[in-house]
Structure 1
Amino acid sequence: MLDRKCLITGYLHQNLKEKRRFTVKLLRSFGMGKSSFESRIITEIDYFKSKLIQEATSSAGYDPKHIIENAVSNITCGILFGKRYEYDDPEFKRFLTILYTNLEHSSQAGALTFMPFMRFIPGSNWKRILKNVDIFLNEFIKFEFEEHANTLDVSKPRDFIDEFLKAQLELQSGDENVDAFDDESATHIVADLVLAGTETTATTLKWALLYLALNPEIQAKVHQELDSVTGRGQLPTLKDQPKLVYCEAVMMEVTRIRPAVPLGVVHGTTNDTIYEGYFIPKGTTVVPNIWAVLHDEITWPESEEFRPERFIDDKGTLIKYEELIPFSIGRRSCLGEQLARMEMYLFFTHLLHHFQFTLPTDELKPSTHPHVGATLTPRPYELIITKRT
């Protein structure tokens, strides 16, 4: 006879839609995608700017990679774990390094989907990926679950994990209407949220700073618009977003020219279908090619040229192309899209309000050719950070 845990696990694996719905509901309960979450993001941005101000005192180049990743991750960690991590925290830096190392080695993941035997080929990095996953799950995510379980007060859930634990207890008490998760599912879902809530936004911001440093005339236009809309003495808010047309165009162009995720999540057809004259049988693995959509020369002439103006019409109004799909589309689109867009806007406008980013004069210009892994990340680069007056 199957035990209760097996029954729960089997039930949950058959109800992925319910899992997604439950996860989105919890995220929204903690403010994800709501304007009320703006203050949380700005609080982290203030920590971030303080660190950059320290670096701005040096004339040497500075690689912003780690603090961008840490700052963005802290937004998600605040929702999930109820806390943030200092930028010099060695353990958190270690976990972020593990996360990004796996993304780098996961460029083979697509091939493994079609040819699983490749994991046994020397040099596939498969064992290292699995080892890193084990470290991340057991030493970071499961540790947080254990810490929360020891201090849980079901009447006052503090964060996302507390809500998970509360739901598990309700399910165990016999409430069949509660959509909770078994321990393994919960751990993997939270790990996925840490990854999704860190990588894409952080990578987009790294690309944004690089392209602005490479194109000072575009950066100057961003500074000019911010100064004219908000002034030097006032920080941008979400209410200013409709008026910051050029800033929005720049961010749209960043997500187009270097989408963080060039290939969408692997899908499978549920029925036989015909598309554009091609017969696709049920059970076919389908990989959405987001890169191809965002670099189609018909929609985006000279697609490798960084031109924010392509998103602004003759009247100065923002053009919203339905082909701009960096977060994918449909029912399987990124569930954190609203939060990511809010983060990107606030981080971008606050950073450009405070700083000017230039390249070291004694070094070669960094390449915009991406490093290809599970995501497209910029190759290492350094910036000169100057505080604006």
Structure 2
Amino acid sequence: MGTRGPRGAARGQPRRSAHHPSPAPRPQGDAEPRAPRGFARARRPWAGRAAPLRRCRRSARASGAPGPLAYHRPVADGRRIEVERAQNLWERNAGKMPALQRAVALNAAPAVYSDQIGGLEQAQDEVLTYACAMTAPEVYAHWGTYPPSGLLLIGPPGCGKKLLAEALATRAGTGFLQVRVPRLAIEVVHFGGKVGELLEVWSGTLSEMPPLTVFFEELEFSQAAELGAPRADLPVGPIMDFLQELVDRAIHADHCLAVASTAHPATLRPAFVAPGRFERVVEVNPSFPADVVKALEIHAAAAEKRAQRRLFEAVDWEHVVRQHREASIGDWIRLMHGALRRKARCEAAAEPVGLVATPDLLAEVDRFKRASVRLPRPAGGIYV
């Protein structure tokens, strides 16, 4: 695979079209990044599908919405038509390649908003900045810069990386295409010599789809918990080469935002974070206990909304969370649901049952800690 320019053109030969004017001369020096996705380009025709972000951070915070992202929730008929079109196109094209169907999932209408994310303010701010590439690309040119070619979210398992990627898609007004990289690696091994055909279907699908946020979940597939222990039997080199080609084709699609995640940044192939790929690295590391408490409060409120009644007493969430520092946010959410399920069992058995209180959650923490000792815990790499 030859050296490519920012959006698929050979270096020194930029694309030229109505939407891709000739770029300004590039300053000399290896440290200067390449200008992806149309520096100083006219506004994209689909940019109006999401709320404008003329001044991204300031307008978001001035809106009064919780957190750094100020989401709007459009319900226009045009958007519904686009969602149906995306679903139909994906089902038709993915059906040609069972490997894609099993490893890739489309959410044509993601709906993850700022008030559904507990904390992670700095990571959310990065998401907001990247969303401008789709909602208001001209603001980058106004400041003499251009959006990154892609984001890499690094953080321990269960810290909210996928949630942030879905929030990006929601804010940008795009569909959300989730590529489960460890599963795709297994499918590629089984698929054998038809990898070239799979790449062609991938490229054709991306070219036909409406605007997308493509999320490559766990790029360092060889260390992923889904595969169990590191797999020496997998041809890691060829799979990585295939994965880089898959990533490049997504990044070079003008109507796609590219995001990836890993819990193992220390062993990730450096080529993935080279300029022109996932060049912007964002740490997703929840603060303890504040972000964990915020996430639990959000999920407790969501449970009460589903039940249409009060479920919790005045819980001392911080006291509960401080009992187990090693648990991820995902672990805490499952622990909370464990307490709710225990209440449901008591009700089914016609036993006396009250609202979930602090002692109920502390009992779940003890149970979780005892069970965790018996199970291997995946390492999460190094975070600085």
User: TM-score w.r.t. structure 2 length?
Assistant: 0.28
Q: Which has the higher contact order (CA 8 A, sep 6+)?
A: 1
Q: How does the TM-score come out when normalised to structure 1?
A: 0.28
Bigger fraction of residues in helix: 1
